[in-house]
Copies of this chain bind each other. A is one copy, B any other.
């Protein structure tokens, strides 16, 4: 890639967790309020200014050109999970286990999963666009992402994505069913996509928006669950809890229909991202703490989990 095409540094990659923007227990149930609040906060974090509706599906509300100025330095990339869109379809048909080429059930499940996740993607883009964020969808499968033994292989996406960011758009990717050259197919999770993009785009920081205030030492619904405020990651990939000091080992949770792993996977993904040198914030969507994280400017009383590389400031 020519260096001249790298005109915009990507400031932030933000992951909208499936649990934050959907109700995970009910088939294809969108959490409109959370998505709407997050879209507003994203608009503010990207620089704010006049917001006008870019969703012209109900009527053609064309804003007055006199009031309009073009800000093209959004430099955010959004990735969202599937939540209750796609997870059920994927797990009932076993898409993540492969078998695309010899099972009609998997074949149908693949199509049904994609139909569901792209439906959510459309809803997310609509929510962002209605806040004046120039969001454009990039379904990973359609953009040529594939895996080999569930590891992300080469993809054309990085180049394309860079073009989008340079054009001032905010690309919106999502967890997706993709082709796997070894097992036929698998589920590519939003978290894995975030890591892959962080490697390529080297953003200043990465934010994971969830439905709980951060990462806890046990399922947050349990009594005495403790929020892990700071996780430090070492060169060899291991990590430890820097704040607060804990005595018991960390437990994790995993919903039965969550085909892409629970909190242990999330910490591991966050750790592998922070090893690249950028801070990772895990925070509850829609809160003032989420807004601080999205701005990359967390304050003294911030509530959430920071995952950072050892020896970094």
Seen from chain A, the residues whose Cβ lies within 8 Å of a Cβ on chain B are 27-28, 52, 54-60, 62-63, 65, 68-70, 72, 88-89, 92-93, 100-105, 107-112, 114-116, 118-119, 122, 125-126, 129, 132, 134-139, 141-144, 146, 156, 159-160, 163, 167-169, 179
Contacts and interface: CB of A to CB of B under 8 A. Distances in A.
A306 B134 CA distance: 42
B137 A163 contact: no
Contacts of A125: 115, 118
14 contacts: A27-B58, A55-B115, A57-B112, A57-B119, A60-B88, A62-B108, A65-B103, A70-B102, A70-B107, A114-B137, A119-B122, A122-B122, A136-B141, A144-B144
A28 B122 CA distance: 15
A160 B138 CA distance: 14
Contact of A104 (B68, B103, B111): B68
A54 to B, nearest CB: 4
A112 B65 contact: no
A105 B167 contact: no
Contact of A100 (B62, B102, B119, B167): B167
A168 B107 contact: yes
Contact of A56 (B89, B139, B156): B89
Contacts of A63: 104-105, 108
A118 to B, nearest CB: 6
Given A101-B167, A116-B56, A111 B93 contact: no
Nearest to A164: B179
A185 B115 CA distance: 28
Given A63-B105, A89-B60, A93-B62, A118 B142 contact: no
A156 to B, nearest CB: 4
